[in-house]
Structure 1
Amino acid sequence: MKKIEFPLFGENEFMYLNIGRLIDIERMAGKSAGEIIRSQNLDLGLLTIILSVALRHHKMRTPQWYADKMQKLIDEGIDLETDIQMPVVKCIAGSGILGKAVYYKLFPEELTDKAKGELEKERKNE
């Protein structure tokens, strides 16, 4: 589980997802984690749900709270894709649910020689 710095909604905030939090997202979104990942569609509703779960250790905020804050930030000129969606994608990958290959693609600085060997074995077994 990787923590992703995300100070857009509060100073020194970071987000993370683990299995328990992914289950909460499934319940709130009405979709399985597999469906969410396969669709590769982080629509605004899903984005606000993920933010409310991935950042809840800082403060309990509703998806609507994040929707309102996102609108304000967009009005101020932030880029939705770069500043919000990409960190959320990294947070999902950081949970480990997408597998090692995706994890190391998004976090290449963590790719050790040992991990390279494990990835090679994984590819051969596919």
Structure 2
Amino acid sequence: MEERAEIEAVLRAAYDARRRGDLDGVMAHFSPRAEFMLLGSPAASPVPLSALGIAAVREVLRRLMASFEFHDLELRTVLVEGNRAAVHWSARVRAPASGLEASTELLDLVRLEAGKIVSFKQFADTALASRLLRA
């Protein structure tokens, strides 16, 4: 079983890499068989998506990182139970294509195995994300 401190260290490093826009740094924390989901209704927004396997996760994260920059990223709460974590965080999000930005909060449910993320499910304001993408 993962130790709480080890899980927190992996998560903090991954979020820090995301804040910096470092795709390789983020991907270093994902398992080859990882899954990534940005949850929401595809009928209401083009933002929800999912990926399975390291290559697909990398491509999804590459597109997301090109579409959204995070500033003032703050991990507000990190709860760890066994090999699972819930991360409540906030950031000022900027969409470079539109120049629009807004502050928001997000919640991620993460599962790790052998020190790597195998499941990452993100709950975000997909309506806000859609609005930020509009030019």
Query: How would you bin the TM-score normalised by the shorter chain?
Result: under 0.3
More strand, by proportion: 2
State the TM-score, normalized to the length of structure 1: 0.27
More helix, by proportion: 1
State the TM-score, normalized to the length of structure 2: 0.26
Q: Which has the larger radius of gyration?
A: 1
